[in-house]
Amino acid sequence: MSRGGVFVSFEGIDGSGKSTQARLLADHLRGAGREVVLTREPGGSPGAEEIRALLLTGGGERWSPQTELLLFTAARRDHLEKVIAPALERGAVVICDRFVDSTRVYQGVARADLRAAVDTLHALMIGREPDLTVLVDIDPEEGLARAAARGGAEGRFESFGVDLQERLRAGFLELAAAQPARFAVIDGARAPEVVAAEAARAVEGLLA
């Protein structure tokens, strides 16, 4: 796969504000004349969006962690083939709201001990890491309150409560500590424009 483009992912617990930050970064880079593809996971391609609906709606115990892992990987493969890889080939900046690190944490740490399976499937089916991952860090109780206020039908993971969010945060921070060259950890409790400016600086350093 060509590395002509740059691949940036945003990660964080539910309600961290990462989706807003991904959009703000896309707007900033487009304003600077960059071609940007803003996408999300699960989803981002027609087939993956269909799988998203299966994963993020319904009761908390609708799927086992093992089934979730297979569904997320299937969605990611379609997303990679149809959206991410073509954009990187033509030199675009791809900004993805969640990628494999979410699966490593949600299914590999916080929901079940499936981390080895996550990494094995990722190596076999995906084989690509982001060039930079922006982790928007926030207190779990605040994040859960934000997510609840947001509402909507895609609240399956929020329904597990603050205990899950605490384990998710710990899992993300552990990943960031293990791969400091790839991760930029940003305090998400501040004003959105402050967070956005810090994220932009991290990405501009990579582009330079």
CATH number assigned to the domain comprising residue 162: 3.40.50.300
Specify the pLDDT at position 18. 95
Which residues does residue 11 pair with via DSSP β-bridges, in sequence order? 135
Residue 155 has pLDDT above 80, yes or no: no
Angle between helix 192-207 and helix 18-31 axes, rounded to 10 deg: 50
What tens digit of pLDDT does each residue of 177-201 get? 999 999 999 999 999 999 999 999 9
Q: Exposure of 96 by Cβ count < 10 A (0-12 exposed, 13-18 middle, 19+ buried)?
A: buried
Q: What are phi and psi of 94, to 5 degrees?
A: -100, 125
Residue 140 inside a domain? The answer is yes
Residue 75 inside a domain? The answer is yes
What tens digit of pLDDT does each residue of 84-143 get? 999 999 999 999 999 999 999 988 877 778 999 999 999 999 999 999 999 999 999 888
Question: In 34-186, which ranges are continuous DSSP H helix?
Answer: 46-56, 65-79, 85-89, 100-105, 115-125, 140-150, 162-178
Residue 88 inside a domain? The answer is yes
Residue 159 confidence class, pLDDT cut points 50, 70, 90: low
Residue 1 inside a domain? The answer is no
Specify the pLDDT at position 1. 36
Residue 106 inside a domain? The answer is yes
What tens digit of pLDDT does each residue of 51-66 get? 999 988 877 778 888 9
Residue 205 has pLDDT above 80, yes or no: yes
Domain of residue 84, residue span: 6-207
Specify the pLDDT at position 133. 98
Specify the pLDDT at position 154. 46
Residue 153 has pLDDT above 70, yes or no: no
What is the Cβ-side half-sphere exposure of residue 89, based on CA atoms within 13 angstroms? 8
Bigger pLDDT: 208 or 157? 208
Strand pairing of 6-11 and 132-137?
parallel
Structure tokens belonging to residue 76: 């990611």
State pTM to two decimals. 0.89
Residue 2 confidence class, pLDDT cut points 50, 70, 90: very low
Structural domains of the chain, count = 1
- Give dist(CA 17, CA 183) in Å, integer: 17
Residue 170 inside a domain? The answer is yes
